[in-house]
Amino acid sequence: MTMYMTDILENYAVQQPNEIASLYDGKKLSYRDFYQRVKRFAAYLQEQDYEKDDVIALYTLNSDLFLIAYLGVQLAGFVVMPINTKLAAPEVDFIFNHSQAKGLIYDERLAALLEDVSYSFQYVVGLQEMKDIVENDHYKRTVVQLEAHDTAVVMYTSGTTGKPKGVMLTHQNIVATADIWSSSMNMSRKDKMFICTPLFHCAGLHVFAMPMIYQGGTIVIEEAFSPTKTLAQIAATDATIFFGVPSMYTIILNTPGFKEQSLNHLRLLCYGAAPMPYELVKQVKEAFPNVKVQNLYGQTENSPAATSLLDTDALTKIGSVGKPLAQTEVCVVDSEGMSVPAGEVGEICVKGPQVMKGYLRYPEETARTIKDGWLYSGDLGRFDEEGYLYIVDRKKDMIIRGGENIYPIEVEEVLYQMPEILEAAVVGLPHEVYGEVPKAFVVLKEGKSLDENTILSYCQTRLAKYKVPYEIEFLAELPRNASGKVLKHTLRPKVTTI
């Protein structure tokens, strides 16, 4: 019989009942206690008259209760839908309405935003009530036989290119992804995974939390990233694996006294969600000489799991996201769907047991995105002669200037080489003659100064003339979603035709 995440959790509750499953806010839960709470919450949900395929929204901050709810909904036989807590009320309302969610599990600290949401749920439970539910045997659970292709989770995409879409992931998707990533990162039950990125995002859940449970290790949960506190907690909990988006590593390296923390237990630093410039990778490796680094690439639509760049190649395969993961096929195709030779740019396609079931209530979009089992990612990339994949850019982010293709990432990489620049993002600026020209948005490091002419002069010596930004705009920070991706579509309204 195929085992899914709740089955694996149950096995560990029997095989290693006293080993620590989660650590949050000083509170440890053994595998036995953790699974007991998952069962109790599942029993409660079954008493609420939900039906198969009903969607239950999970709107909470990071905590052990988040994971208990996430797994409890699945154990009960329903569909869990984590919600980005950083969204505005109209965005949350859109997701509630589009998904037709029947129930809501919410953090009372977020109640103010929910007051501005018009959608009505049939069932609602707050975390304070949930705490009582999972601490006591109030309800009797009915055992439900989970099926491989049943929808387990709906995760709405970040909407970096428009309205978010609900990605349907199955029980098979999640357990396959846990298997794939735990193998890639050589996880074991001795590991302690430190998670301070949002659990409502697929990376926190499916790349780190679920693979850790898959191997019977410990998940160390922090509500949010706060550099000084995060570093102290990594040290205090003897965490062995940490994940951060590139901007988090920049902040850590610039945090006073970070080298004074005892981080000797760390063995792996993971990064993803956005490209990490060569200089930053180099600085991270110099700051943590005994720790390996690993780049992770995937999308919500593939659970997310596609490729990974291991530590051995971190500084030699600059800009690469590595090779395909186990159980995974990756190809690069042209507009006709034909594979292109190494070195040529095309759309990245992924195939494997982690590829989504489809988009919720968007059958036509599903058909356009999944063809013959291949997920068409919308990312542009190329393979080198040794089979390493390079992300060139999002298909929709590419700038066409007078017939010449400009990939924003290549301009951004040059900007990141300037020591005064903390962050950069390049988008297309409408132009009456050329159609589009590149415009750069730049964030400077604290205490540093640069002017537009200095930046343009620097770019002119390192880029083809047509790739040099037409203009520079300085910002205090770049707009990002909760997973750390720059929201370029919010920058585009800032540009006007010239």
Over residues 156-179, the mean pLDDT reads: 86
Over residues 141-163, the mean pLDDT reads: 85
Over residues 35-45, the mean pLDDT reads: 98
Nearest to 73 by CA among 130, 12, 157: 130
Q: 352: how many CB neighbours lie within 10 A of its CB?
A: 23
Cα dihedral 405→409→412→417 (10° resolution): -120
Q: 2: how many CB neighbours lie within 10 A of its CB?
A: 10
Distance CA 442, CA 22 (A): 39
43-59: per-residue pLDDT in tens?
999 999 999 999 999 99
pLDDT at 398 over 90: no
Q: 25: how many CB neighbours lie within 10 A of its CB?
A: 10
- In this prediction, residue 158 carries a pLDDT of 62
Cis peptide before 304 (omega within 30 of 0): yes
Tell me which residue has tokens 């988040």: 66
- In this prediction, residue 486 carries a pLDDT of 86
- In this prediction, residue 247 carries a pLDDT of 77
Strands 166-170 and 358-359, sheet pairing: antiparallel
pLDDT at 481 over 80: no
- Are 35 and 71 in contact by the 8 Å Cβ rule? The answer is no
pLDDT at 274 over 90: no
- In this prediction, residue 153 carries a pLDDT of 98
pLDDT at 281 over 60: yes
Ranges of beta strands (E only) in 79-122 are 79-82, 103-106
- In this prediction, residue 434 carries a pLDDT of 78
pLDDT at 11 over 90: yes
The band of 217, judged by pLDDT with boundaries at 50, 70 and 90, is: very high
The band of 327, judged by pLDDT with boundaries at 50, 70 and 90, is: very high
Nearest to 392 by CA among 407, 414, 413: 407
Phi, psi of 237 (to 5 degrees): -95, 0
- In this prediction, residue 162 carries a pLDDT of 57
Question: What pTM was computed for the model?
Answer: 0.85
Return mean pLDDT, the chain: 93
Ranges of beta strands (E only) in 88-157 are 103-106, 123-126, 151-156
- In this prediction, residue 462 carries a pLDDT of 87
**Secondary structure percentages of the chain, helix, strand, coil, to 5:** 35, 25, 40
Domain architecture of the chain: domains with CATH: 5-383 (3.40.50.12780), 398-494 (3.30.300.30)
Phi-psi region of 373 (alpha: psi -120 to 50; beta: other; left: phi over 0): left
